[in-house]
Chains A and B, each alone.
Chain A
Amino acid sequence: MVDNLQLNPEGKLKHFLTIEGLNRNLLTEILDIAESFIGMTDQQIKKVPLLRGKTIVNLFFENSTRTRTTFELAAKRLSADVLSMSMSTSSTSKGESLLDTIRNLEAMFVDMFVVRHGISGAAHFIAQHTAPHISVINAGDGQHAHPTQAMLDMFTIRQIKQDFSTLRVAIIGDILHSRVARSEIQALNMLGAAEVRVIAPKTLLPAHVENLGVSVSHNLTAGLEDIDVIIMLRLQKERMSSALLPSESEYFKCFGLTEDKLKIAKPDAIVMHPGPINRGVEIDSRVADGPQSVVLKQVSNGIAIRMAIMAMAMQKKGTI
């Protein structure tokens, strides 16, 4: 089992690295606290002083726009000082090790690292080796986990569908390489979803995927039946060059979500996508921009959920 690196001895959040090892109460608490921040974003003054005087460093070893921006906004709305570092153009490109980078930033008295890294396990590694007063939030590590994305999606689902226990959720596309999928599957199962179904060709599914607690379909038409929530995944272009798929057009023909295919799901099904969207590859524009799409809602909710998680991880030094 994942060690309780993420929780302090009282069972409160210390780091947020993965959904695994957390529990339903804690996930619900995150959603509830995020809920309380949602109202706030409509106000004239969008700030609360929860993390005033705290320094948060966004360490992005991989490019990101949406995730980095929403983390930055979330930190600012909690009144923290934020430093965003794009590590691909920084000292790491000069050969500095991950640990040295962390140690140097620690020496500047920071309180929290928000980490995005291209290698699975990077956030765990930093959490294991950083100074004890520092919290680490995983903003995506390799193919392992992207737990804040999963939580903002859970938040969006709960806003619209309320009860998880009746929901059938389909995750469609490149499960093999997707940290989002792994975290979503864990979160949905922890929150008691009736079914999590993955739909993809075998080349895009990891070995023994059913062990993650999902049912498996290789056919979009059959797989979409009875589905309440559709989560589309981005298809990276390099999947074609590594012989996982023949072509974008064949992929779109088999697994692209079109208006016709969407009709197979329940009439009130919602369509989600963690972005960035490849229009015409995994999803048709008419669906992405259509009435059932909640893609932009996901983005807005990203700020509230990240505020909640950052505030909770720092709560030993204050109260929410």
Chain B
Amino acid sequence: MNQIHIRQGRIIDPANSIDRIGCVYIADGKIISVTNEPAGFKPDIIIDAHNQIVCPGFIDLSTRLREPGQNRKATFKSETAAAASAGITTLCLQPDTIPVIDTPAVAELIKELAEKAEYPQIYPIAALTQKLEGTELSSMLSLKQAGCIAVGNANQSVKNLLILRRAMEYAASHDLLVMFRPNDYWLGNHGCAHEGAVATRYGLPSIPDAAETIALAQCLELVELTGCRVHFGQLSCKRSVIKIHQAKKYGLNVSADVAMHQLHLTENDIIPFDSNYHVLPPLRTETDKQYLRQGLAGGTLDNICSDHQPHDLDAKLGAFPETEPGISTLETVLPLMLKLVVQHVITLEQGIAALSHNPAQILRLKKGALTPGISADVCVFDPELDWQVNSENWKSQGVNTPFWGQMLKGRVTHTLQAGKIIYSHRTSKSGTFIPFPAGEG
């Protein structure tokens, strides 16, 4: 296999507390050395990373690729290309595919689709309950053996707490991580916007933050009761951050994340009825956004997920409450993270850790670092490169992003997955990678 030399970039590897200019050496799909050139190293490919940042490939804990079942919205091919161009090398797939990931056969189908798309590092999250209906447990152990990395109920609430308790106990028996997006079904009441000033003014069916915090509080109690390992996903409000902070302080074995758009947008952005901002959980208030930012900076929130949900055009064409929720987000993850750094919310090292090392820890994967010996998942990006979100630069089949047309700063130039270059910004018109022959550049 190829030997690759990533030359003279600013290496930021939070797991190993590295932040310095240097080289990364890759052979046989693995990192073999950082900084010191190994003896007899003969690179086939040299990547000049001068003025660029070299960091671990990003790991996303909540993605939807729409296959199987909804390939008119997106496909593995389109979305893995988007992920690769965004520096994302590992994806966790939510179980609400059609059919639901509740049998080993569906998990295996996903593995197959991933291989076919030449993007093998896709980990299905198994359904916590059959068909996500919240009534019967899924075959979690079989699903784990079929390659599922965790269990969860996607956006469906488990209404019956006894069933949630048993699902958590069963998951804990098999040392499975439960991924939980807290949302009380009844309090959510089929809303589409945050219960606050904007929903009141525009007469939109609304979701109070208590729909999230009450479900979160209940689940935290069940963590205490069952000893289950739980990761809380896509938190959206101030009191959720406070609750996670308290739970961690108390010593509960929990982690939590926030979707990138929640750190940048608020309920005001939906005015008057822009369906590109229709997302669940809904965009909340400026105060909530500030708490989420602080939660990330202070470590209460461990990682940032993309919560990528590509849609076809029709899904967003309609009166706001009738449109489908979700944003196509993979390709804006890096520039929006860098924006948090520019705004002094987090350091660059924290931002990279929140996208790589921290989610790897949550999944207990040997990833998210540039440690010699581990799989060479690497992202090289230019933090200063301006680009416009437009059809020329966009790879996802879902163009449902509120950032469409905007100029963003920061773009990935190379993505390596297990030592294979899966994206390079320097592409010829036919789209093939032009390597720099050794000795040049």
Seen from chain A, the residues whose Cβ lies within 8 Å of a Cβ on chain B are 1-3, 5, 18, 20, 97-99, 117, 119-122, 124-125, 129, 141-145, 179, 182, 206-209, 211-212
* A3 adjacent to B272 (CB under 8 Å): yes
Stretch at the interface among B32-40, B230-238, B318-326: B318-326
A177 to chain B, nearest CB (A): 8
A-B contacts at CB below 8 angstroms, number: 79
Q: Pick the contact of A209: B200, B204, B205, B317 (CB < 8 A).
A: B200
| Bound complex: CA A182 to CA B320 (Å) | 18
Min C-beta distance of B300 to chain A, whole Å: 26
State whether A125 touches B273 (Cβ < 8 A): yes
Query: Contact: A207 with B199, CB < 8 Å?
Result: yes
Interface readout for B306-321 with A: 1 if CB under 8 Å, 0 if not? 0000000010011111
A117 with B319, Cβ < 8 A, contacts A143-B203, A144-B202 known? yes
Decide if B328 is an interface residue (CB 8 Å cutoff). Answer: no
Q: 1/0 contact trace for B254-298 toward A, CB 8 Å?
A: 000000000000000001110000000000000000000000000
A124 touches B195 (CB 8 A): no
Cβ 8 A contact of A20, one of B196, B201, B208, B320: B201
Whether A120 lies near B318 (C-beta < 8 A) is: no
Instruction: Tell which of A1, A18, A120, A122 touches B204, judged by Cβ atoms closer than 8 Å.
Output: A120
| Closest A residue by C-beta to B268 | A1
Residues of A within 8 A of B195 (CB): 207
Q: Are B203 and A2 in contact (CB under 8 A)?
A: no
- Pick from B197, B202, B272, B314: contact of A211, CB under 8 Å: B197
Tell me how far the C-beta of A20 lies from the nearest C-beta in chain B, rounded to whole angstroms.
Answer: 7
Chain B residues lying within 8 Å of A125, measured Cβ to Cβ, are 273, 317-320
Q: Is B89 an interface residue (CB 8 A)?
A: no
Q: Which 4 A-B pairs have the closest CB atoms?
A: A143-B203, A121-B273, A144-B203, A122-B319
Q: In this assembly, does B206 line the interface, its C-beta being within 8 Å of a C-beta of chain A?
A: yes
Which B residue sits closest to A179, measured CB to CB?
Answer: B203
Nearest Cβ in chain A — how far from B236, in angstroms?
16
- Which of A121, A208, A209 interacts with B272 by CB under 8 Å? A121
**Contact indicator B322/A119 (Cβ below 8 Å):** yes
- Chain B residues near A119: list those with CB within 8 A: 318-322
A211 to B208 CA separation, bound complex (whole angstroms): 17
Not counting A1-B271, A120-B320, A122-B319, a sample of 18 additional A-B residue pairs whose C-beta atoms are within 8 angstroms of each other reads A2-B272, A97-B317, A98-B319, A99-B317, A119-B322, A120-B273, A120-B319, A121-B202, A125-B317, A125-B320, A143-B204, A144-B204, A206-B206, A207-B199, A207-B206, A207-B208, A208-B196, A212-B200
| Cα distance, A121 to B195, chains bound together (Å) | 17
How many whole Å from B404's CB to the nearest CB in chain A?
15
Closest CB in chain B relative to A146 CB, distance in Å: 10
Q: Which of B208, B314, B321 contacts A120 (CB 8 A)?
A: B321
Look across to chain A and name the residue whose beta carbon is closest to the beta carbon of B208.
Answer: A207
Which B residues touch A209, using CB under 8 A?
A: 200
For A145, give the chain B residue with the smallest CB separation: B203
Q: Is the CB of B318 within 8 A of A182?
A: no
